[in-house]
Amino acid sequence: MKKIILDQIMKDKYYDYLKDNSFFVKDFYRDINSYIGFKKFIKDKYHLKITDKISNIIDDIELVSSVVDTLK
């Protein structure tokens, strides 16, 4: 694997995800541009996109609101 890709994985904090999905390592050896596909796959699988984060925040707000309504 090229040092550039490994540095980028460490910078983006995707190293733990790479351990779980190690089949991407062979793609990194073959094509340096496969990192873009890896990032997309990880964001989809582990719900790391901005829209997923906003959805989680909305769910948390609704939970707190329902707890407050129950306490009243």
Q: pLDDT by residue (tens digit) across 17-32?
A: 988 888 888 888 888 8
Taking only the tens place, the pLDDT of each residue in 5-63 is 888 888 888 989 988 888 888 888 888 888 899 999 999 999 999 999 999 999 999 99
CB atoms closer than 10 angstroms to residue 52: 13
Q: What is the reported pTM?
A: 0.71
Size of the chain in residues: 72
The three-state (H, E, C) secondary structure of 20-48, written as one string: HCCCHHHHHHHCCCHHHHHHHHHHHHCCC
Domain range holding 8?
3-71
Given a cut of 80, whether residue 1 has pLDDT beyond it is: no
For the chain, how many structural domains are there in total?
A: 1
Q: How far apart are CA 33 and CA 43, in angstroms?
A: 17
DSSP state of 13: T
